[in-house]
Structure 1
Amino acid sequence: MASKVLKFGGTSVGSLERIRASAAIAAAECRRGEAVAVVVSAMAGETDRLLGLANGLGFGLGDEETDVVVSSGEQVSAALMAMALRREGLEARSFLGWQARIRTDGPPGAALISGLDATPIRKAMEQGCVPVMAGFQGASPDDRLRTLGRGGTDLSAVALAAALDAQCDIYTDVDGVFTTDPRIEPNARRIQKISYDEMLELAAQGAKVLQTRSAEFAKARNVSLRVLSSFAEPGQSEGTMIMQAEDIAERRIVSGIAYARDQARIALRGLSQTPEAAAGVFSGLADADIGIDMIVQSPASEPGRANLEFTVDRRDLRDALTRIGESDARDVLSETGLAKVSIVGLGLNRRADVARILYRALAEQKIAVRTVATSEIKISVLIENDAVEHAVRALHAAYGLDAAA
């Protein structure tokens, strides 16, 4: 029965003033006749503060009690938002994850949503009440509280929207998805419509506007997503619609440019050229839950051996080197001070000039490319950290993203 699920992120509930402003947005939707459910994050900075308290006693992410500590931030936000909505003249009630019957599988700090029975939320709405759900949390099979990992409130909101067959509006501090980071390129434009796949790639390659798992879930369940700003006056933020590619009539070759600083490159020289050798390397990394990217393999000068390189986040480098320490590679090298810049677009695999434009734009800025990785809708290059801003601006202009669509 719901027509909209409104999710408000940490900056949108970062103070009582922001909570009141976000409540006014939700109230305006209700007064337009929309049936609304609200999902909230913890106040900006609160999760880090709470995690610091757990760390002070020697417990970090992955501990059951740490989950209980950090999830309390969303509990506070949900109650305060319900109070603010009541001040707007609406009936409102807060729900914790277990009260909304969100079931999870997986370890503390990184659980996955396995089911959501929206009956309590739907019943509240049928009674004319606005339910305000605490995001980022659910219950394990043995009824222990579990959190969904960083950005998990986006996932909570999309899952609720899927259960209610509703549109999901994600409110943040920017007015939608932009062609690149406006802090680097002032000519960045808001994208009116973007496909799930493009949004997923932009999020995976460093764009922070939407959590990756929520984009995957929305695509799988065909949930209509919209990203808007809670800092605009109610009804004034146009935002970005995220939808199926076939529903977008006009598409650019390149939709956007994302970047991720502080990358590290690991190179294994002279690794046995057998599937088992590479599988052993990546199995160790997977066991440690270390994300990898930009994998390149090539023959080594020694017969029967290969060179394998890939990138990891700089913070994971030490652990990654430990995990691959038992490989039979002749040498293991690592390098830091690198960044990844990615161009994303559904038209990349249909245009032969895309790579030419990329290399020419970087060459004109005298930016050396260390590694390249490609897929059907993205090309990522590894460059020096210090060259990120020059690269983003050059590529943004080269692909005409600063021009009106």
Structure 2
Amino acid sequence: MKRLVMKFGGTSVATTDKIKQVCQLILRQKEQYDDLVVVVSAMGKTTDKLLAMAYEVSTRPVAREVDVLLSSGELISASLLALHLNDLGCSAESFTGFQAGFRTSGSHRKSKIEDLNPTLIETALKRGEIAVVAGFQGMNKDGDITTLGRGGSDTSAVALAAKLGAKCEIYTDVDGIYSVDPRIRPQAKKIDRINYEEVVEMAHQGARVIEARSVELAAKYQVPLYIALNTGEVEGTYVANFTEQTGERKMEDFKLTNVSAIENILLVSIQGLPNLSFESSKCFTELAAAGVNVDILNQVILDRDNSAFSFTSDMDSKPEIIEVLDRMKLEYTYVENLNKVSIIGSAMRNQVGVAAKAFNVFIEQNIPFYMVSTSDISISYVVKAEDKNTIINALADAFGL
């Protein structure tokens, strides 16, 4: 039995006219599959508008009530889409996240899927209906509606695909995944096939096509993903485990995949912390307790007794970082509004000389970097904001992206 889960983001269902357009794509896919489930986000900027309204009526909105409010956005999209499908003669039924079987845990606004029991969805599919599900939401053990946070609708779609044994197609306002953001590099190449781990790394390093958590879930349950333009008229990008052994990526096996960037980086340098001291440990424990995410961390041993630490975080965490360091009476400096540029590709495991080649690009462009970090499939450089586009294009040229 061929099953498909289709997910449409906010831009794809931003107006009733756009909802009518995506219904045509849904009908075309219905001809190809036995069972079809559609997951939708809220229309356009509805979530942002609803959140703003919450603050118009409350100075400190209660998280539970905010989740109830925000969840209504997806319900509107789902019901409108189901209404139009029925108008087109295609039987469809909309479902809340709870009705679809999503059981959640964790905090409001950023809960996680604890379990999924799509009994009502299965029943609708057996009746030959298209099930239209409100993404981004579920219900916790206390019977409260919760929302899944950033990327929640993508995660809802992947979870349903995993449970139903279906493929998952994610439709958005871009026609796939590119080697570089086309707004920075118009000649960037669209990637036909890419591995889960590369997309996860891209998402963590600034690419905005899909959230990392949904791809991590797809990789865990081996759900084939397809990311494409919401018109369905242009071939998109397939995400799975493509290997040389399968013959599906042999020609690209020793190529890098992507150059991505994250803006608004804060670089903090702390001087004179004792080596292997409780004070060093306490510093980063206090930062974590304040909700600060430390990304890149470097230590330089100054002498037998003292070290200097440098780390990066996002600019939004600056007040919390300063409060912790001042409270601990530490000596520090910081540089604001930097960018992190990353080159990404599973080919790094087998290819020698990637770091050297990238280093030469920085030299040729006369662009310094503040910090560098590496992972199994990426190398990241912290640079000035004004150098971001230049170095991205230069790296893309050097690595054929």
How does the TM-score come out when normalised to structure 2? 0.94
Question: What do the CA deviations read for 1:76-134 (whole angstroms, capped 9, x no partner)?
Answer: 11111111222332111111111111011100111011100011111111111111110
Distance 2:2 2:282 in 1: 48
Which residue matches 1:43? 43
Distance 1:288 1:92 in 2: 47
Amino acid at match of 1:7: K
Question: What do the CA deviations read for 1:40-76 (whole angstroms, capped 9, x no partner)?
Answer: 0011211111111112234568711111111111111
Question: What do the CA deviations read for 1:233-286 (whole angstroms, capped 9, x no partner)?
Answer: x4x331111111435432243100110111111111122322644443333333
Which residue matches 1:143? 143
Matched-pair contact (CA < 8 Å) for 2:43–2:74? yes
Question: What do the CA deviations read for 1:276-317 (whole angstroms, capped 9, x no partner)?
Answer: 44443333333333322111112124x322211111111121
Q: Please, which moves more after superposition, 364-373 or 198-207?
A: 364-373
Aligned residues: 396
Amino acid at match of 1:344: I
Matched-pair contact (CA < 8 Å) for 1:292–1:312? yes
Q: Which runs of 5+ in 2 are unaligned?
A: none
Distance 1:33 1:212 in 2: 27
Matched-pair contact (CA < 8 Å) for 2:193–2:242? no
Which residue matches 1:286? 288
Which residue matches 1:107? 107
Amino acid at match of 1:91: S
Q: Identity of aligned pairs, percent? A: 35
Matched-pair contact (CA < 8 Å) for 1:62–1:108? no
Which residue matches 1:319? 320
- Asked if residue 239 in structure 1 is aligned to residue 210 in structure 2, the reply is no
Q: Please, which moves more after superposition, 245-254 or 124-133?
A: 245-254
- Asked if residue 177 in structure 1 is aligned to residue 167 in structure 2, the reply is no
How does the TM-score come out when normalised to structure 1? 0.93
Matched-pair contact (CA < 8 Å) for 1:177–1:209? yes
Amino acid at match of 1:184: I
CA 158–281 in structure 1, closer or farther in 2 if over 3 Å, else same: farther
Which residue matches 1:168? 168
Amino acid at match of 1:315: D
- Asked if residue 273 in structure 1 is aligned to residue 270 in structure 2, the reply is no
Amino acid at match of 2:212: T
- Asked if residue 73 in structure 1 is aligned to residue 73 in structure 2, the reply is yes
Distance 2:334 2:60 in 1: 28
Matched-pair contact (CA < 8 Å) for 1:62–1:107? no
Which residue matches 2:341? 341
Amino acid at match of 2:343: I
Distance 2:242 2:299 in 1: 32
For residues 305-384 of structure 1, the aligned pairs below 5 Å read 305-327=306-328, 329=330, 331-384=331-384
Distance 1:118 1:283 in 2: 41
Matched-pair contact (CA < 8 Å) for 2:2–2:33? no
For residues 244-259 of structure 1, the aligned pairs below 5 Å read 244-246=241-243, 247=246, 248-250=248-250, 251-259=253-261
Matched-pair contact (CA < 8 Å) for 1:293–1:312? yes
